[in-house]
């Protein structure tokens, strides 16, 4: 059988219409129940143009103070704690000495106290995040409010983001986080039943407590930090973070790399500097 | 026909072997799954209704859960307004499993029957159940 061009176009046109019509009928049947439905943010949630942090470690005096912040985060987010097996460690927030926090800025005349001071470091929620650029699955992505989010459902564990992040803010689950430490104790001592764990083979990091912000709570680390960690909207000139940045001398980690971190560290300076 | 005896015998043996699963299961009623709804929380409900109608949940819960997941993780939207205009908090662990605290008798009864293994529970914490 042979058909001419006109017949061919007629048939093609008719089958396209039929095909499209058919698909829409099937779709509306299938999703019938969802039509009138929708999703929306919780009105209690905190909103901002660009979330950021100010960290003032002069307010952290003892070892306990650092630990309280890190434990608050790791406990509520079911982060496995490797006491012995440091090679496989997973961490969202931890302390780091000056020379590792701000490499290249230490010098021989710096006060001993400053050199020895520990800083609290976690994901910087960079404005130009290197991790997001390299992620092949968009598992890590930037939200409209500036949070660099991690979608554990999509992460394939390629670890490109870990290679790209200049701050070591990301950890890979080499082992099952629900497993046991080398001494036989569970890695997650007490599960927070309202939050998931992760599984072997995915990358995790600080998510700026997106789950707490969405119901109107402050990040857990900020809440227990006695004012050492302040959280707020960097784009709002009246926010507390902006007020501190305006009155005190603050620096960011590795600004020369151009990722534009959203954590500002208070370095000395008085209230009226 | 050459070797017809052998060929026919061979065919009979082959068919008998090939059809084994069919007559093995013949007459055996394969009990259909009966997901249980008698959890304490559900019993307390004034109106025993899931976030959407039973038929919708039966056939579409997997799609709904996928949409919920993307809504929370990607868009930060945590409130679900259902077909009747009622609001629910989007959360597998805190909303779904709060009512369906009997995962073994609810989720697993159908999933095992259908031989599907959803990987939700690799990360989401399932409710603690007394019975194994
Ligand atoms: S600190 Fe690292 S992980 Fe966090 S946004 Fe910046 S580049 Fe990404
Ligand atoms: S490890 Fe996961 S988050 Fe990181 S780049 Fe690969 S897929 Fe993306
Ligand atoms: S903001 Fe939340 S997730 Fe990030 S370090 Fe603090 S407590 Fe952990």
ipTM given for this complex: 0.80
**Given this model, what pLDDT does residue A7 score?**
77
Proximal ligand: closest to the CA of A139? 2
Is a pLDDT exceeding 50 seen at residue A25? no
CB contact under 8 A, A39 and B53: no
pLDDT in tens, B65-91: 999 999 999 999 999 999 889 999 999
**B79 vs A contacts (CB less than 8 Å):** 39-42
pLDDT in tens, A194-253: 999 999 999 999 999 999 999 999 999 999 999 999 999 999 999 999 999 999 999 999
Written as six digits, the tokens of A65 are 């103070």
Q: What percent of chain A has pLDDT above 90?
A: 74
**Given this model, what pLDDT does residue B92 score?**
96
Compute the CA torsion angle B1, B3, B6, B9 (nearest 10 deg): 10
What is the band of A28 on the pLDDT scale with cuts at 50, 70, 90?
Answer: very low
What integer best gives the mean pLDDT of chain A? 90
**B88 vs A contacts (CB less than 8 Å):** none
Is a pLDDT exceeding 60 seen at residue A29? no
What is the helix (H) or strand (E) element at residue A210, kind and residue range?
A: helix A210-213
**Given this model, what pLDDT does residue B130 score?**
64
CB contact under 8 A, A39 and B81: yes
Is a pLDDT exceeding 60 seen at residue A135? yes
Q: What is the mean predicted confidence (pLDDT) over A57-80?
A: 95
CB contact under 8 A, A39 and B76: no
Is a pLDDT exceeding 70 seen at residue B41? yes
- Which residues does B128 contact at the CB level (< 8 Å), separation at least 6? none
Compute the CA torsion angle A94, A95, A98, A101 (nearest 10 deg): 0
**A215 vs B contacts (CB less than 8 Å):** 78
pTM of this structure: 0.84
Give nearest CA residue, ligand 2 atom 7: A155
HSE-CB at A217 with a 13 A cutoff on CA atoms is: 12
pLDDT in tens, A160-198: 999 999 999 999 999 999 999 888 899 999 999 999 999
- Cβ-based neighbour number of residue A127 at 10 Å: 16
**Given this model, what pLDDT does residue A2 score?**
64
Q: Architecture of A51-266 per CATH?
A: 2-Layer Sandwich (3.30)
**Given this model, what pLDDT does residue A36 score?**
44
What is the band of A21 on the pLDDT scale with cuts at 50, 70, 90?
Answer: low
Is a pLDDT exceeding 80 seen at residue A273? no
**Given this model, what pLDDT does residue A5 score?**
73
CB contact under 8 A, B52 and A37: yes
**Given this model, what pLDDT does residue A256 score?**
95
Whether B64 contacts chain A with CB within 8 A: yes
Length of chain B: 132
Is a pLDDT exceeding 80 seen at residue A30? no
What distance in Å separates residue B102's CA from the closest CA in chain A?
15
3-state secondary structure of A127: coil
What integer best gives the mean pLDDT of chain B? 91
Q: What percent of chain A has pLDDT above 70?
A: 89
HSE-CB at B38 with a 13 A cutoff on CA atoms is: 2
Domain locations along chain A: 5-38, 51-266
Q: What is the mean predicted confidence (pLDDT) over B20-48?
A: 85
Q: What is the mean predicted confidence (pLDDT) over B14-25?
A: 87
What is the band of A148 on the pLDDT scale with cuts at 50, 70, 90?
Answer: very high
Q: What is the mean predicted confidence (pLDDT) over B6-28?
A: 87
- Which residues does A235 contact at the CB level (< 8 Å), separation at least 6? A48, A49, A50
**Given this model, what pLDDT does residue A267 score?**
86
Lowest mean per-residue pLDDT among A50-54, A102-106, A168-172, A261-265: A102-106
Is a pLDDT exceeding 60 seen at residue B131? no
CA A222 to chain centre: 15
Is a pLDDT exceeding 70 seen at residue A257? yes
Report the candidate in A81, A69, A95 with the shortest Cα–Cα distance to residue A190. A81
Written as six digits, the tokens of B78 are 């945590």
pLDDT in tens, B88-102: 999 999 999 999 999
């Amino acid at each position: 059988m042979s058909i001419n061009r006109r017949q061919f176009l007629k048939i093609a046109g008719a089958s396209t219409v039929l095909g499209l019509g058919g698909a829409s009928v099937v779709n509306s049947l299938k999703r019938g129940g969802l039509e009138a439905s929708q999703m929306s943010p919780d009105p209690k949630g905190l909103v901002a143009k660009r979330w950021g942090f100010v960290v003032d470690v002069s307010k952290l005096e003892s070892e306990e103070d650092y630990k309280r912040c890190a434990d608050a985060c790791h406990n509520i987010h079911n982060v496995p704690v490797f006491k012995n097996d440091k090679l496989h460690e997973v961490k969202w927030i931890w302390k780091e000495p000056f020379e590792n926090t701000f490499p290249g800025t230490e010098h021989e005349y710096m006060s001993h106290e400053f050199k020895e001071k520990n800083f609290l470091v976690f994901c910087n929620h960079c404005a130009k995040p290197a991790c997001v650029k390299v992620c092949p699955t968009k598992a890590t992505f930037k939200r409209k409010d500036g949070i660099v989010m991690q979608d554990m459902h999509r992460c394939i564990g390629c670890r490109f983001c870990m290679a790209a992040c200049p701050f070591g803010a990301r950890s890979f689950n080499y082992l099952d986080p629900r497993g046991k430490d080398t001494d036989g104790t569970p890695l997650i001592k007490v599960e927070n039943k309202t939050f998931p764990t992760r599984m072997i083979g995915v990358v995790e990091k600080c998510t700026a407590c997106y789950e707490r912000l969405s119901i109107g709570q402050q990040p857990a680390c900020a809440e227990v930090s006695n004012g050492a960690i302040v959280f707020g909207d960097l784009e709002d000139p009246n926010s507390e973070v902006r007020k501190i940045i305006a009155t005190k001398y603050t620096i960011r980690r590795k600004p020369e790399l151009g990722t534009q971190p959203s954590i500002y560290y208070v370095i000395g300076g008085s209230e009226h500097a | 026909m050459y070797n017809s005896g052998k060929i026919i015998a061979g065919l009979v043996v082959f068919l008998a072997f090939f059809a084994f699963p069919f007559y093995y299961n013949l007459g055996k009623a394969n009990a259909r799954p009966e997901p249980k709804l008698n959890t304490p929380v559900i019993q307390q409900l004034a109106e025993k209704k899931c976030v959407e109608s039973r038929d919708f949940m039966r056939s579409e819960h997997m799609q709904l859960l996928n949409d919920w997941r993307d809504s929370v993780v990607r868009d930060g939207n945590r409130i679900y307004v259902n077909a009747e205009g009622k609001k629910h908090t989007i959360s597998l662990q805190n909303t779904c499993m709060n009512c369906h605290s009997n995962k073994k008798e609810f989720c697993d009864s159908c999933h095992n029957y259908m031989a599907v293994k959803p990987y939700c529970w690799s990360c989401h914490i399932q409710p603690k159940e007394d019975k194994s």
